[in-house]
């Protein structure tokens, strides 16, 4: 316990000191390469099954051009090394024809797994379909976990759910619906999901998996045990937003957003998390939050196990950890891509073009066909959406990639 506390204290001191750019400790083996822009859009180019379907969607306004805002990106390399890229466009408002898509070679997007799988937002809600996909996660078993918030235009249309698709045949293999003990319809918004697989291939089949799901508006974490098909809710004071950091500045534009817990990532020992309205990173041992009995009677149990481990110069939204234990996020003001070696207590600002990374909503680390780590980022200029200053004559959305082979 003494060594554990010492690690936490040392990390807090180093990461806090790193918030000043003059005190950054460089990780010497990084190559200073700029992330590569793979896709970019002024507005998303939705594909429909045929012209009649498109015209019908325009007529009933289940499709309003320019409304869709991409939030998350999820690259997928299959066993043959072929790449498929997924995109989510949650229903912040109506007019989004589908909210989970894959990207074609020409940068247009098409509904995944099919157009028929999606509620259209035309008033006819089928809760067996996808209502509002927020973020996704892919396992080592070529499976795609989709977090469907069930919310459209700030109203719950369906209960939140987790959907598991087999990427080898694009078929649904599992569904978990959140019950009323896990969310509050008038307050909750589930936005982030990450998955820890304890029985990966070739020996395992990804049945022993734990998902962590962030409820940003009602400030909690849902832990879902896939193998047991059971879930429990965890709450802690560190999951709340900090009022001192509820006003955000991105590329010179200010907006207010008091989002709580949103960034989730993990290594072999800890879950790391932070609210959006915060500059502090927190950690809790996986063995604590994976123990459902601790939280059966008290959602706020084991409070002393949650620790602040560092401060950044500015808030960020998603985070991810690579296979070497390096933690990444893109801060708001200034816009910086941070790489933090948690175990060695070193942090570096990686080379970027700031105009390409205005509000990163999606960030993933995946292994490519050569088994090298890649960092993928989706920038959506959310600050312009929040301030209603989107210019459709400019590039507003980008997907970028950076190799992490140093």
Alpha helices in 281-375, H assignment, sequence order:
286-289
**Residue 55: partners with Cβ closer than 8 Å, 6 or more residues away:** none
Task: Please report whether residue 328 resides in a domain.
Answer: yes
Cis peptide before 369 (omega within 30 of 0): no
Q: What is the DSSP string of 242-298?
A: PGGG-EEEETTEEEE----EEEEEE-SSEEEEEESS-SEEEEEEHHHHT-GGGGSS-
- The pair of structure tokens assigned to 331 is 């801060």
Domain that holds residue 243: 37-403
Query: Domain with 332 in it: what CATH number?
Result: 2.120.10.30
6: which DSSP letter? Answer: H
Q: Name the percent of the chain in helix, strand, coil, to the closest 5.
A: 15, 40, 50
The pTM (predicted TM-score) of the whole model is: 0.93
CB 206 within 8 A of CB 174: no
For residue 35, the 8-state DSSP code is: P
pLDDT in tens, the chain (406 residues): 434 434 443 444 335 444 433 334 555 455 678 999 999 999 999 999 999 999 999 999 999 999 999 999 999 999 899 999 999 999 999 999 999 999 999 999 999 999 999 998 777 899 999 999 999 999 999 999 999 999 999 999 999 999 999 999 999 999 999 999 999 998 999 999 999 999 999 999 999 999 999 999 999 999 999 999 999 999 999 999 999 999 999 999 999 999 999 999 999 999 999 999 999 999 999 999 999 999 999 999 999 999 999 999 999 999 999 999 999 999 999 999 999 998 888 999 999 999 999 999 999 999 999 999 999 999 999 999 988 899 999 999 999 999 997 6
Query: Is residue 29 a part of any domain in this protein?
Result: no
Q: Does 160 map to a domain?
A: yes
In a domain, 391, yes or no: yes
Phi-psi region for residue 205, left (φ > 0), alpha (ψ -120 to 50) or beta? alpha
Beta-carbon count within 10 A of 338 CB: 23
| Structural domains of the chain, count | 1
Q: Is position 13 within any domain?
A: no
124 phi and psi angles, rounded to 5 deg: -105, 95
Cα–Cα distance measured from residue 339 to residue 349, given in angstroms and rounded to the nearest whole number: 6
With H, G, I as helix, E, B as strand and everything else as coil, classify residue 23. Answer: helix
Q: What is the C-alpha to C-alpha distance for residues 58 and 327, in angstroms, rounded to an integer? A: 43
The reported pLDDT for the residue numbered 123 is 77
Instruction: Check residue 362 and give left, alpha or beta (phi > 0: left; psi -120 to 50: alpha).
Output: beta
| Maximal CA-CA distance, the chain | 67
Answer yes or no: is 2 within a domain.
Answer: no
Task: State residue 343's pLDDT score.
Answer: 87
Q: Which of 156, 164, 23, 168 is nearest to 91 (CA)?
A: 156
103 located within any domain: yes
Do residues 149 and 158 lie in contact, with contact meaning Cβ atoms separated by under 8 Å?
A: no
Does any domain span residue 17?
Answer: no
């Amino acid at each position: 316990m003494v060594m554990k506390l010492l690690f936490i204290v040392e990390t807090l001191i180093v990461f806090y000191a790193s918030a000043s750019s003059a005190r950054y400790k460089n990780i010497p083996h990084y190559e200073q390469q700029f992330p590569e822009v793979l896709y970019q859009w002024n507005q998303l180019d939705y594909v429909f099954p045929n012209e009649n379907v498109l015209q019908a969607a325009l007529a009933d306004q289940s499709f309003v051009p320019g409304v869709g805002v991409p939030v998350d990106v999820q690259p997928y390399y299959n066993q043959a090394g072929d790449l498929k890229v997924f995109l989510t466009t949650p229903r912040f408002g109506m007019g989004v024809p589908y909210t989970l898509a894959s990207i074609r070679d020409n940068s247009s997007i098409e509904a995944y797994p099919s157009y028929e799988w999606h509620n259209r937002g035309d008033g006819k809600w089928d809760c067996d379909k996808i209502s509002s996909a927020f973020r996704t996660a892919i396992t080592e078993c070529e499976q795609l976990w989709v977090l469907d918030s069930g919310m459209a235009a700030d109203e719950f249309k369906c209960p939140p759910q987790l959907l598991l698709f087999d990427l080898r045949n694009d078929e649904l293999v599992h569904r978990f619906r959140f019950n009323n003990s896990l969310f509050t319809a008038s307050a909750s918004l589930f936005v982030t999901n990450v998955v820890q697989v304890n029985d990966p291939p070739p020996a395992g089949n990804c049945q022993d998996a734990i998902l962590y799901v962030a409820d940003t508006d009602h400030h909690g974490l849902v832990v879902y045990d896939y193998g047991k098909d059971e879930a429990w809710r965890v709450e802690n004071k560190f999951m709340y937003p900090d009022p001192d950091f509820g006003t955000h500045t991105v590329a010179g534009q200010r907006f207010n957003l008091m989002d709580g817990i949103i960034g989730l990532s993990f290594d072999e020992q800890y879950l790391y998390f932070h609210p959006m309205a915060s500059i502090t990173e927190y950690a809790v041992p996986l063995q604590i939050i994976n123990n459902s009995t601790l939280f059966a009677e008290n959602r706020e149990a084991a409070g002393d196990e949650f620790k602040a481990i560092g401060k950044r110069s500015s808030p960020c939204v998603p985070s991810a950890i690579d296979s070497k234990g390096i933690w990444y996020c893109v801060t708001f003001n200034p816009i910086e891509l941070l790489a933090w070696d948690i175990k060695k207590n070193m942090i570096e600002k990686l080379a970027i073009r700031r105009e390409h990374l205005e509000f990163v909503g999606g960030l993933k680390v995946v292994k490519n066909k050569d088994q090298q780590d890649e960092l993928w980022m989706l920038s959506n200029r959310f600050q312009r959406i929040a301030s209603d200053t989107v210019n459709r004559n400019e590039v507003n959305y980008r997907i970028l990639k950076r190799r992490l082979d140093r």
